[in-house]
Structure 1
Amino acid sequence: MKHRGKAVLLMAATIVAFFAAPANADDSVSLWSDADTPGTIDVDDSSAVELGTLFRSDVGGTVTGVRFYKSAANTGPHTGSLWTGDGDRLAQVTFTGETASGWQTAAFAQPVPIDADRDYVVSYHTTTGHYSADNNGFAQARDSGPLHAPADTPDRFNGRFRYGPGGFPTSTWASTNYWVDVTFTPTPTIPEEPPVQTGFPNADNTGVPAGVTLTPFTEPCNFHTDNQVIDRKIVDCADGIQVYAGNVTFRNSVINRAIETNAAGASITIVDSEVRAGATSWAAVSGTDVTVLRSEITGGQHSVRCDGDCLVQDSYLHDQFNDPNSSFGYHNNGFLSNGGSGMVLRHNTLWCTPLDNEIGGGCSTNLSLFGDFAPITNVTVENNYFHATPAAYCGSFGYNPGKTHGDNPSGVVVRDNVFERGPSGHCGGVGPVTSFLTTGPGNVWTGNTWSDGGTVDPA
């Protein structure tokens, strides 16, 4: 950038890590977090100037305001603007209640809708100069979740300025980043069906096989007979399904209620079936000694809740229920254990889908292992597809020191799983994985990758 005929050389700032956390406590996202700071906080230039950043979003949503980094000498006043890429102003706001320095934020009177994959410019005007700036800051693109500020090129320049009383900034110099940011709230959308990789379970390759004829199940819904087989049935039980016997099998069937083992020695196998638990705070499938094979599980607060000795394989867990009228916020999970041993999850698609609601409800993770009532031990999680989720993380693996039995999960083997990046770029809103204790006895993390390539690490 040329400052009134003389070149000012600025130290190049260190490029901070991509996918910064949201700047605000709400659902908005920004290009930088409050922890990010300029390399050059105060440029010795007292001219009035408009400074801006070109950006776009992968998804539609609303721009709620403007942010900029302020030096102590940049006393203003300051106004912020949002522009189309062609220079039409969409909104303007005057900054009030500023602090002496640091990040400043002003909210527009009304959120401004923007389209996906379209260029916009966010800017602010200072009458006193002394702005923050780092040359070469846009030598590389800046990416944060769905937001992208492209690298400065002759055809698509970034790091913009305009001297004078204000207006659309159209000049650039040395790919300089002037630390102008946006607050953006993505429109919450979840596709009806996940774009899973070829070979992973989905609605087309799980559940009742094509050509099977179903008839109503007319026997009692409390199962007390060992080795009972329910085959090719539609099972409707108004109060849910309680299994008291061993080795009860549901095969080629549609089960329209939640199902649970409810006695010592009870066990169930669900194979080539569909569990449609619907609007209930019970887990769709729960208990001890549970086997789920090639089945589709929907509804319920959790798809599967295991207390120990469970095998879930080649199955599709999704679309849990979160009660919007409850007095407290339910947390949902694809697979949940609050403590137990002997669990295997192999070649499933795991997807927690409910969005956060106003009472604190929403997804915990696709797969949650918590040491609440017993230690987490001897768990194998292999070759699963972790679908991108509205939750903070896609998987939580048992190390929760604040819980009664969360200090030392052991024998937790997580290998050869695939994590979808999704809108956030890292599967969950914060990251792919949390609470994996790498030093725990018998714990193994290996071969876990992103769906578009690259290694997923447990930290």
Structure 2
Amino acid sequence: MRASLLAALVLGATATVVGSASAHPEPEAVAEPVAVATPSSAAILKDDLDLVDARRAEAWHASRSEARSLLELRSHKRTSTATATPAPTTTPTATPTPAPTATATATATPAPTATATPTPVATSTATQPVSAPVVAASSTGFPNASTTGVPAGVTLTPSGSITISQDGTVIDGLQITGTVTVNANNVTVRRTLIKNTGSIPVRVNGKAFVMEDSEIDGQGGGNPAVAYSNYTLRRVNIHDVAEGPRISGGNVTIEASYIHNLLQVGSNHTDAVQSTGGSNIVLRGNTIQVNNPQTSTYGNAGFQYGEENSQIRNCTVDGNLFDGGNYTINGGGGGTTGAACTFLNNQFQRDFRYGPRGNLGPNTVWDSASNVWFDTKVSLG
């Protein structure tokens, strides 16, 4: 009975060990205690149980070690996989996002806005039917369209013909379509464009009339452009008239002005400036061109003077640029020979028919040294 009980215990222990750790199947070793004489069955049973527990522990440690290795392997794989994940870091793809920086678009937007803002120049549109054009400066050093007439940028107010009867009146910044008649003294017209529609664009019946920084467009009429005495023209642009300013009675100064592009009307003797009598006459620092390159006409004279109406005294023609005419300077108007006029520091271009001067009377003073050709600066003699 003892033997069979021992065998059953050994068999149970062996089966347990085999199930938990197949790597250590040694059932024969358990049989050795059978040959050993033991004092009691309880001691033998205890020894056998201890052996079984030892082998179970050994098997448990083996299986736990194996499980730990498996976990470490899995953990290693996960780590490497996780490491691989950051590697493809598509973060660089995010870099293109700032590239389209919409900031550039924002910069472009304010630019056009600034351009639109200056449009408040609508103020001038409200009162600006016409504004004076910008013209290139003269290459001759003498007056031209850039230095005479209405200054660039001045706003002009439309007007019809005007008659001035109040002394001391000042007319400024008009565009007059028609004529101006002055029946008062000390009247000033400045920065004004006159588009002539009559026979005389400006007729002066008063005294001490001044026109400055203005323009007279004869529009094919105007004979003369300004009449007849007691006036000063300063930086005035006169063109497209049949006759320039006429002097009869004296007290006339024309300075820093531009008289040009005169028109031949019928059999008229076209003169840029003509005097038929008077005293205190001054032509200073002007460009006076009686010839018209557009119509290929010479005109009659740049300055025609004679004593048809009265004596000419105290007359000075100084520092002008002249061109055109049959004779550019023509004295002896009306067959008279007594006009007293002094010419000095003038320059002459060569677009005349006969010569730069002719018919000068005995009272004319001609300074040979200072009256010269424009192109060579050589004396006319």
TM-score (norm 2): 0.58
* Cα distance change on mapping 1:204 and 1:196 into 2, 3 Å: closer
Could you tell me which residue of structure 2 aligns to residue 375 of structure 1? 311
Structure having the larger proportion of residues in helix: 2
Residue type at the aligned position of 1:386: F
Q: 1:449 to 1:414 in 2, by over 3 A?
A: same
- Cα deviation for residue 349 of structure 1 reads 0.4
In structure 1, C-alpha distance between the alignment counterparts of 2:207 and 2:137, rounded to whole Å: 37
Q: Counterpart of 1:125?
A: none
Partner of 1:243: 182
The 3-state SS of whatever aligns with 2:246 is strand
- Residue in 2 that maps onto 1:436: 360
Query: Where does 1:42-441 land on structure 2 (aligned, <5 Å)?
Result: 197-217=139-159, 221-237=162-178, 240-257=179-196, 258-263=200-205, 265-307=206-248, 308-323=250-265, 326=266, 329-354=267-292, 363-387=299-323, 389=324, 391-396=325-330, 398-400=331-333, 403=335, 406-410=336-340, 412-421=341-350, 427-437=351-361, 439-440=362-363
Q: Shift of residue 195 of structure 1? A: 11
Q: Which secondary structure state, in structure 2, belongs to the residue aligned with residue 363 of structure 1?
A: coil
The amino acid that maps onto 1:210 is: A
Cα pair distance change 1:282/1:211, threshold 3 Å: same
Residue-by-residue CA offset, 1:261-305 (whole Å, 9 max, x unaligned)? 353x44421101111122225211121111111110112221211
Task: Could you list the structure 1 runs, at least 4 aligned residues long, displaced by more than 6 angstroms after superposition.
Answer: 193-196
Post-superposition offset of 1:353:
2.5
Aligned partner of residue 381 in structure 1, secondary structure? strand
C-alpha distance in structure 1 between counterparts of 2:162 and 2:149, whole Å: 21
Amino acid at match of 2:332: Y
1:456 is aligned to 380
Q: Is the 8 A contact 2:298 2:326 kept in 1?
A: no
Give the partner amino acid of 2:185.
G
- SS at 2:270 equivalent: strand
- Which letter does structure 2 place at the counterpart of 1:392? N
Taking a change above 3 Å as real, the CA distance of residues 333 and 196 of structure 1, as seen in their structure-2 partners, is farther
Per the TM alignment, residue 392 of structure 1 is displaced from its structure 2 partner at its CA by: 1.5
Amino acid at match of 1:342: N
C-alpha distance in 2 between matches for 1:351 and 1:399: 20
1:135-154: CA deviation from partner (whole Å, max 9, x where unpaired): xxxxxxxxxxxxxxxxxxxx
Aligned residues: 240
Structure 1 residue 241: Cα displacement: 2.3
Q: 1:196 to 1:451 in 2, by over 3 A?
A: farther
In 2 relative to 1, CA 355–314 (structure 1 residues): closer, same or farther, beyond 3 Å? closer
C-alpha distance in 1 between matches for 2:139 and 2:185:
36
Match of 1:94 in 2: none
Q: What's the CA shift string for 1:18-61, capped at 9, x where partnerless? A: xxxxxxxxxxxxxxxxxxxxxxxxxxxxxxxxxxxxxxxxxxxx
Paired AA for residue 342 in structure 2 = V
Deviation at 1:429, TM superposition (A): 1.3
Q: What is the alpha-carbon distance in structure 1 between the residues aligned to residue 175 and residue 233 of structure 2?
A: 17
Residues 12-23 of structure 1 aligned to structure 2 (within 5 Å): none
Amino acid of the structure 1 residue aligned with 2:307 = G
Task: Map Cα deviations across residues 200-243 of structure 1 (whole Å, 9 max, x no partner).
Answer: 0011221111121111236x612111111110111122xx3221
CA contact (8 A) 1:380 1:414 kept: yes
Distance 1:269 1:236 in 2: 19
SS at match of 1:399: strand
Corresponding residue SS for 1:256? strand
Q: 1:194 to 1:333 in 2, by over 3 A?
A: farther
Q: 1:215 to 1:281 in 2, by over 3 A?
A: closer
Q: Which structure is richer in relative contact order (CA contacts within 8 A, separation 6 or more)? A: 1
Q: Against the structure 1 CA distance between its residues 281 and 204, is the aligned structure 2 distance closer, same or farther, given a 3 Å change threshold?
A: closer
Partner deviation per Cα, 1:371-427 (whole Å, 9 max, x = no partner): 21112221110110012x2x221111x335x63xx23122x1100001012xxxxx4
The DSSP-based 3-state class of the residue aligned with 2:283 is: strand
TM-score (norm 1): 0.48
2:187 and 2:302 mapped to 1: Cα distance?
27
Identity %: 29
- Work out the CA distance in 2 between the residues paired with 1:284 and 1:251: 16
1:456 deviates by 1.2
Amino acid at match of 2:211: I
SS at match of 2:188: strand
Runs of at least 5 residues in structure 2 that lack an aligned partner in the other structure: 1-134
User: Which protein has the bigger strand share?
Assistant: 1
